[in-house]
Structure 1
């Protein structure tokens, strides 16, 4: 490697210089190697490994995956993904040779020999692109960064990059990693005026939809009908607390995204306020963001008008980045931080989760080099941070206030509402896509957990780092500039920090199983140990090794005593924190004339943090402990809340313990806190209603109304004063001719070997393009371990959620790009995944997705089922099967096979599949033949 000269060289003509490396395409257990001299070799992995020992590092795509496929130890390589991340940061690409070719507008060949020959051409394309933009602001420090990476890591692409930039002798510098110096500041703007209230008519919604689609686009009458119905959510409200609520079911293929974007964008433009669009999954959030390119094709205008909002834990934290850069030499992080710094300059919004961040970077360099860069532990110090004005989160909050559409997620929308609107304020118009998940999202948002993990996090937030490597500052450090030497603030702070030692200290999980509780460890640990003993005493034998739970009552005496002590301890913590909060808040009024703007912002942020991170959970925990001292509820009485104790285990190891509280019906707080304050709400999904719940005789009259009532109950519409406007648009797809649905009757779902064999045979019959869905991660991993190698030997790569290190969005990108690939997943792959075409032509479900038999489900089944508990279970399973089936056909020309490996599946559950689908029961051999023959047809 050439040592850089001490002085920076002037710009020279760019050159396209490739490493003198062979190109390698790795299959499973075999590979194809093309030398720079044109010698081609295809053969077994052992021979590939032998040849690599005598060659320079090969040119590959995704070196860790290539090593795994070949069964070799990780080897030095010129990874094209690294070059791609440097040359075209923030541009999406599936991390495979074919995926990279598609990202660079190349048609990927089918043969591995041709793919190997293509790799140097892809490298040339990337370097040519870099050379063309060498004078752009984005590449101002690119040469200094490449030289630094060469100096620190011997990065094999450094010379190629420097040659393309025309700066072969560039001086190395760590400054390009300090991206906060080059990021723009956000600017505070005046509060927006109140929005006007001009409605959007059905005709106007249709017209806007036609404008978005453009001339010559495919005509979808159902889509226009849907847009007309959605427009009803954008009328002026007449009564406070009674929003215009539309429940709209849109069959797959309707085009509902643009259907509701049409009236939503028109209302926002006309009235000067954003419409918030909320999803349950990141996959759909990203899909909606991409589809809005048809509404605003210009990237600059689109960035201004469309804002993606997520929780703070999703974004790159510049303070974390600064600390990582400072320790890069010690931690060996130069290369990942260098590539992330390139992305940080190009990213649209700094989103590390599902945005434009290349998710495969965490697999190339390990999650420990990526995820600590986000604020995943709530340590944000807001305006006290030196990078506050460049902060990606603060940018997105301010951009959202002036946006046309804000694409958020259910969790953020509900948490913000629970906090009284939060940093983003209360949106007047809300669209909830994936509305069938509102019940689950509200269940998570409005619940409370008094667990070891939650309590230990609060202690860490209050006391800061207590040993180990952490930048956790603690409350004292965060507030030191605001408190100074003021006794009225110092005293409650000191009292709170002393009381915080009642919370679980470092190493608490290791002490959870101790037989004798040590009161010196604090009241919380004693309480957790007493809960653990009660749970274990009342667990069923078959639950051994898995997470277990039990009812509160009859309450064991040690638990009652420990709960009383803990309640006192939490009161001693909450009281000084409340005093501190109130005295800080009082400064905003008492010292209004003296406070500088920065101090005012810091005080507001401190009060907000105290309220959200400490006072709110402490209040909830106190109420939960109060339940333990009250008489138990009489059998048959409907509760407002469901409480229980649980011992959490992961892979046979105890990881947490605690008391949990959920609303019996979480749509009630959703309706009151989220929907009622809004003026208009659209709740939409392909599966809002439960189809097939009644017999054919009942279906003619009773079923439609019953299905709508159930949908209103599951979405919170039943808790609002005005009736919901109902709309349903059927799917335009011909399911009868384009799909096959099969229940396999001779596979024992309890036998892992039989299940794995079925997956292997069916995936082989489809030639790939198969999605396998599981109701348990353990069974997914077991099947993956059994079938990965046999499928690889047939040229079918297998990817798996919870096995591969890639995030879900990247896994889906790979699956979409590789028509021969198969993918295994759980719930996240069942919902919100859009893979049109031959990349998804077979879907196999391992068993009926019944709800988990938990205490929470037992209580809901009893009190929310209207006296039909079995029907309650059926409805949940039917929804999940229908959602899974919906992944299969995404376009008119798609065709696919749906297979359920559960012979015990009742026919009533399959009645909810789309109209025209005929379910047949047969043996595995016939199912394999049916799959092969149907998918082979043109």
Structure 2
């Protein structure tokens, strides 16, 4: 058995739910109390055993707990004993992860918590004589000194004594995990791939191997063989040198395995890699999980498959070292030391070092603060590459080098497009790091245009400019670990006058960017004309005018000499004036932001733009000179440079180009275009179709203090698939674009409808901009939607009544008996409904979890370790994409409104110029595709049943062709819908209509 807990008396155990608490007293009595009563009881007892201390405190109405928390949080103990494992942060989730059976878990009351603590301490004790136990003992001593509530119990379980033997790992070294991680080693460059084709028969055989001989049979693999999988091998696959506008497989056709089979075979035969790109990170992990069918052995799979994400997702060992040093220097108890110690435990066990969506639990930041993870992540642009003492142990560098030898690389659209753009800019100098692929599969292909829009847009905003200044100049006296450019390059340029001079010029020119405090000064200047007012249905408060707007800013040029900050003030004043005047160019707001067209310009804006362009041009010239002279040093000092220095210079050149020079050059081009003769109303060319859309946006960003605003000048491509096709698609040897909603047919059935649908799909994926025509393939879903699904439009719920909306969700979730997904088009309505639903949907035995990322939520919803079905999951309509929840865990999707496109400036201009004279149909197409994607979450196998409900009585009938053929959409009142849905789903449970019985439901 485990060692006793630190308190001489048994501590109380507490499970706090919405409205009631389960409390195990030190005397062994289990009580059900109101939150207020539980708080009074706790005052007389030692710190309690809990699961998720911060959430428990919030439910009790207590202020945030101090760090380190005095409570015995079982999640902290779980992370210490079993690092690299993720579980739902609930009593039931923890109990199932520790292999307790359902009969013992029961209603997951407070009396279960001491048993869970004993199991975890027993598992720690089992490791005491192993190398892992020695590491744990040293780390636990460090954590105990910092005030960790579990310290005494863990040390007793491990049999650790103070001091440790001299030959053992010492507490001060235990947290320095970067010293013990494996190193990567360079290998010879991989030759260019061959071009041996993959036949249809070979692809079918590979698919059969992946599915297994018993697929879809009782007791078999559980993955159905689907006709669509065998047909999903168009001649335009990535294994042949052609471009496909893709396939449009219906939902549930098993397209992932359908394209993985031939792609993996091509990679093996030709010695090359196929990059599989998704829009959402949770689909990256989902595809990675599917590949266990191809490579069951984890070690083999690790050699053949690599998951790539942006650097900002990974643990930076240098940042962690600095965080440990800072936390350790303060003395006394430190919650940061405890959190960092648990990160050290995880870093030694993680598969890839992914802090966000990987094997670090999604609730870790709730326990120790999101700032801790942000501080140790690989922050954008700050990597010093070969100069870092941990370079050869770096998680990002490990993944880059593994990707060079992998057969399949699973990335996301943002990384893939950024990588292609960087390669086009850097040429061969950037190819070594990125190993630019030539074959791609774009899953979630309907988002190619959205991803390209983000990748190829330009934004000159206060936050972007201030971040670049911080990257160049460092912290400027603030308490921060930010490393400026001089610190990163100092040892490369010191004693080199030809390098020192341009570096100094860069640092001087960087002072044209907004200095610290710019956002607060902007807020102060705008205060007389701003008044936060709530806007129904929007995500944040919208600034509104409280009085007349002067024609020019209140501040004079003499009091605001910084050219960038002056430009920001002018932009903010213009957007406010345009907003209040309600001019035709103003289209409202997106996500709480105010937008307006750049043109017509305010009187002072052209001069301010010209002054800022001149200042930024000086910065660009200095950056270009520094880059050129670094390259000259590579050429001139070839015989004197060691490999590490050469690699550092090459990395510095890449980073300067990508992080600074390309951005500044884009800003200069945008500023110089202001007021030019080619511009007309709305920032468009007077004649013909514009190439870019220019507008101003004022909003509040994450991380800013209340009242602070960010303002920016934005430039987007009217058609962002043009640069996508130029820098990525055209140079590639083969691309397959696939999606369940790539093509929209409006249901009219005329002869030209299919061709129009394909043409629209090609336009959205960039295929229309390539010299060779796209090869098309469509695969129908194999399911009987008429029998397996129902769709309703509720016609008696007021769309603007939050109480009625919450009541409708509650009624539908309860009628379904669990397995519900609620989708919202606005975060404000999501939050309001969640607040009203938390208590009525939570009953003994249910699980209520704090807010977590979509990727983490989907990962655990989709795994067998999560009890099924969940009562409900609420999220924005972004969750309609790439969610593949197995079995009956998801059987109801409720959408609160028709997902119309947001009426912002970008949509207005694209609707005008890209709709081919049918703007209404352009809007309808977007809404239909979103509805179809949401409906597609329901039926994933031939044994599923699912119900789709739209709580918008205003939904036009012309959108109903979004649903598959055979789905009859019925309009009815809420009560009738709930009864019909319950009858339909209960029939599934009872095995009617040939369905096998389903397991009992627990709310």
TM-score (norm 1): 0.92
Paired residue for 1:529? Answer: 569
Superposition pairs of residues 256-271 of structure 1, within 5 angstroms: 256-271=255-270
Paired residue for 2:907? Answer: 857
Paired residue for 1:11? Answer: none
Specify whether residues 650 and 758 from structure 1 end up closer, same or farther in structure 2 by C-alpha distance, changes over 3 A only. farther
Separation in 2 of the partners of 1:656 and 1:44? 44
Indicate conservation of the 8 Å contact 2:245/2:761, yes or no: no
Specify whether residues 56 and 113 from structure 1 end up closer, same or farther in structure 2 by C-alpha distance, changes over 3 A only. farther
Separation in 2 of the partners of 1:615 and 1:850? 38
Per-residue deviation at 1:517? 4.2
The answer to whether residue 973 in structure 2 is matched with residue 923 in structure 1 is: yes
Specify whether residues 566 and 177 from structure 1 end up closer, same or farther in structure 2 by C-alpha distance, changes over 3 A only. same
Separation in 2 of the partners of 1:642 and 1:391? 40
Superposition pairs of residues 783-822 of structure 1, within 5 angstroms: 783-792=833-842, 804-813=850-859, 817=866, 819-822=869-872
Aligned to 1:762, the other structure's residue is in SS state helix
Paired residue for 1:499? Answer: 509
Indicate conservation of the 8 Å contact 1:134/1:140, yes or no: yes
- Which range moved further: 284-293 or 880-889? 880-889
Per-residue deviation at 1:521? 3.5
Indicate conservation of the 8 Å contact 1:28/1:795, yes or no: no
Separation in 2 of the partners of 1:434 and 1:568? 42
Paired residue for 2:689? Answer: 638
- Which range moved further: 447-456 or 811-820? 811-820
Aligned to 1:92, the other structure's residue is in SS state coil
Separation in 1 of the partners of 2:57 and 2:226? 51
Superposition pairs of residues 371-386 of structure 1, within 5 angstroms: 371-386=374-389
Indicate conservation of the 8 Å contact 2:597/2:905, yes or no: yes
Indicate conservation of the 8 Å contact 2:894/2:949, yes or no: yes
Paired residue for 2:81? Answer: 87
- Which range moved further: 31-40 or 480-489? 31-40
Specify whether residues 702 and 134 from structure 1 end up closer, same or farther in structure 2 by C-alpha distance, changes over 3 A only. farther
Alignment counterpart, residue 914 of structure 1, candidates 964, 971, 981 = 964
Paired residue for 1:345? Answer: 348
Alignment counterpart, residue 695 of structure 1, candidates 732, 745, 748 = 748
Aligned to 1:408, the other structure's residue is in SS state strand
Indicate conservation of the 8 Å contact 2:513/2:564, yes or no: yes
Paired residue for 1:516? Answer: 555
Indicate conservation of the 8 Å contact 2:802/2:833, yes or no: yes
Indicate conservation of the 8 Å contact 2:797/2:953, yes or no: yes
Per-residue deviation at 1:36? 6.9
Specify whether residues 645 and 101 from structure 1 end up closer, same or farther in structure 2 by C-alpha distance, changes over 3 A only. same
Aligned to 2:291, the other structure's residue is in SS state helix
Separation in 1 of the partners of 2:504 and 2:77? 52
Separation in 1 of the partners of 2:859 and 2:257? 22
Specify whether residues 59 and 814 from structure 1 end up closer, same or farther in structure 2 by C-alpha distance, changes over 3 A only. farther
The answer to whether residue 726 in structure 2 is matched with residue 680 in structure 1 is: no
The answer to whether residue 605 in structure 2 is matched with residue 612 in structure 1 is: no
The answer to whether residue 143 in structure 2 is matched with residue 149 in structure 1 is: yes
Separation in 2 of the partners of 1:140 and 1:212? 41
Alignment counterpart, residue 648 of structure 1, candidates 696, 699, 721 = 699
Per-residue deviation at 1:317? 0.5
The answer to whether residue 191 in structure 2 is matched with residue 193 in structure 1 is: yes
Per-residue deviation at 1:343? 0.5
The answer to whether residue 405 in structure 2 is matched with residue 365 in structure 1 is: no
The answer to whether residue 37 in structure 2 is matched with residue 52 in structure 1 is: no
Indicate conservation of the 8 Å contact 2:30/2:111, yes or no: no
Indicate conservation of the 8 Å contact 2:461/2:712, yes or no: yes
Separation in 1 of the partners of 2:27 and 2:121? 21
Separation in 1 of the partners of 2:708 and 2:896? 28
Aligned to 1:370, the other structure's residue is in SS state helix
Indicate conservation of the 8 Å contact 1:250/1:730, yes or no: yes
Paired residue for 1:393? Answer: 396
Separation in 2 of the partners of 1:209 and 1:855? 46
The answer to whether residue 80 in structure 2 is matched with residue 30 in structure 1 is: no
RMSD: 2.5
The answer to whether residue 410 in structure 2 is matched with residue 407 in structure 1 is: yes
Per-residue deviation at 1:805? 4.6
The count of residues paired between Structure 1 and Structure 2 equals 910
Alignment counterpart, residue 716 of structure 1, candidates 760, 766, 770 = 766
Instruction: Report Cα offsets for 1:124-183 as digits up to 9, x if no partner.
Output: 443444444445444441111112212221432x34433443435563613111011001
Separation in 1 of the partners of 2:793 and 2:73? 44
Aligned to 2:348, the other structure's residue is in SS state helix
Specify whether residues 228 and 16 from structure 1 end up closer, same or farther in structure 2 by C-alpha distance, changes over 3 A only. farther
Paired residue for 1:432? Answer: 442
Separation in 2 of the partners of 1:795 and 1:165? 33
The answer to whether residue 297 in structure 2 is matched with residue 298 in structure 1 is: yes
- Which range moved further: 252-261 or 854-863? 252-261
Instruction: Report Cα offsets for 1:657-686 as digits up to 9, x if no partner.
Output: 111111111111111211121111111111
Separation in 2 of the partners of 1:199 and 1:398? 27
* Structure 1: unaligned runs, 5 residues or longer: 1-13, 238-242
Instruction: Report Cα offsets for 1:611-651 as digits up to 9, x if no partner.
Output: 11111011111111121131224556201111112212469
Alignment counterpart, residue 799 of structure 2, candidates 716, 726, 749 = 749
Indicate conservation of the 8 Å contact 1:248/1:728, yes or no: yes
Per-residue deviation at 1:350? 0.4
Per-residue deviation at 1:345? 0.3
Paired residue for 1:564? Answer: 610
Indicate conservation of the 8 Å contact 2:196/2:269, yes or no: yes
- Which range moved further: 215-224 or 17-26? 17-26
- Which range moved further: 488-497 or 445-454? 488-497
The answer to whether residue 578 in structure 2 is matched with residue 538 in structure 1 is: yes
Paired residue for 1:468? Answer: 478
Indicate conservation of the 8 Å contact 2:243/2:767, yes or no: no
Per-residue deviation at 1:812? 3.4
Aligned to 1:466, the other structure's residue is in SS state coil
Indicate conservation of the 8 Å contact 1:311/1:412, yes or no: yes
Instruction: Report Cα offsets for 1:24-47 as digits up to 9, x if no partner.
Output: 333222122345765333333333
Indicate conservation of the 8 Å contact 1:201/1:232, yes or no: no
Per-residue deviation at 1:303? 1.6
Instruction: Report Cα offsets for 1:195-231 as digits up to 9, x if no partner.
Output: 11111111111101111122211252424424433x7
Paired residue for 1:781? Answer: 831
Paired residue for 1:334? Answer: 337
Aligned to 1:512, the other structure's residue is in SS state helix
Separation in 2 of the partners of 1:356 and 1:201? 38
Specify whether residues 48 and 209 from structure 1 end up closer, same or farther in structure 2 by C-alpha distance, changes over 3 A only. same
Alignment counterpart, residue 233 of structure 1, candidates 234, 237, 257 = 237
Indicate conservation of the 8 Å contact 2:700/2:710, yes or no: yes
Instruction: Report Cα offsets for 1:85-138 as digits up to 9, x if no partner.
Output: 111111121111222233334333597555545444443443444444445444
Paired residue for 1:762? Answer: 812
Paired residue for 2:250? Answer: 251
